[in-house]
Amino acid sequence: MLGQNQLPQFIDILIMDKYTTKICKHHGETKFILEGRGYYRCTKCRMDAVSRKRKKLKKDLVEYKGGKCERCGYSKCVSALDFHHKDPSQKDFALSRNGHTRSWKLLKEEADKCELVCSNCHREIHEELNGFKDKRQNIITRKYKIITKESAPSRIKEKKKYNNCKTCGIETYNKKYCSDKCSKLAKRRVDRPSKEQLIEILKNNNWTKTAKMFGVSDVAIRKWARQYGINTNRKELRNLGRVV
């Protein structure tokens, strides 16, 4: 339960935005985040603090395990030293991932299950575990078939042949038509009249009569007119002397 003095402060925290922009003395103008203790903190300073804590814990654990690789004695760089679990079944957590969130007691208990090795030796350990090394610690040389036959000659690219378009007669690489336009023209079942011919027919006939003349629907005749740019408005067509 909150006391009477703590209640207004708790309400102010709920109203405050989670993120805001302020001036940090280390990083300048940057994003600040509202922490659970009720004040804003620079996000970059927060990340730097976590990074420093992880490096310090890694250094302390390396010193606890002797400060050098247990196989080759390497000790120049702390970042190049790894913790290898001797028995994976006893592994509770990874020191490199979740170690910064555990107590020092748990970290030491987990480090006792590990062997401190350098990155190079760590890779060799996993090579042995994966079965790529024999008992004499020598890398197994893989045997490959030696092909004595001459390799097949490379395919000679055939020269592209030109074909004549079945609609317009232009030379093209395609088999039948040079373009989609020519393909659609070839698929037409009815020969369309020219623009001038269609205008003359529409002056004396309506859409339905014109459609019967060509054996198509009146919708098709209107479509032809739109494609030719002929106005299909009823009033304007009447004014031009056409009956529709």
pLDDT tens per residue across span 87-111: 888 888 888 776 677 888 888 888 8
Is pTM beyond 0.95? Reply is no
Q: What is the separation of C-alpha 220 from the centre of its chain, rounded to a whole number of angstroms?
A: 47
- Residue 177 sits at φ, ψ, to 5 deg, of -120, 150
Instruction: Give 123's contacts (C-beta < 8 A, 6+ positions apart).
Output: none
52-129 CATH fold = His-Me finger endonuclease fold (3.40.1800)
Residue 13 reports pLDDT greater than 60: no
* Entry field: residues in the chain: 244
Structure tokens at 92: 């509770």
Q: Where are the domains of the chain?
A: 52-129, 162-189, 195-239
| Cβ atoms of residues 127 and 133 within 8 Å | yes
Instruction: Give 57's contacts (C-beta < 8 A, 6+ positions apart).
Output: 99, 100, 107
Per-residue pLDDT band at 69 (split at 50, 70, 90): very high
User: What is the share, in percent, of the chain residues with pLDDT greater than 70?
Assistant: 75
Q: Dihedral of CA 161/165/169/172: which sign? A: negative
The mean pLDDT value for 131-158 works out to 53
Type of residue at 176:
K
Among 23-32, 37-46, 93-102, 121-130, the range scoring the smallest mean pLDDT is: 93-102
* DSSP structural state of residue 216: S
Residue 216 reports pLDDT greater than 60: yes
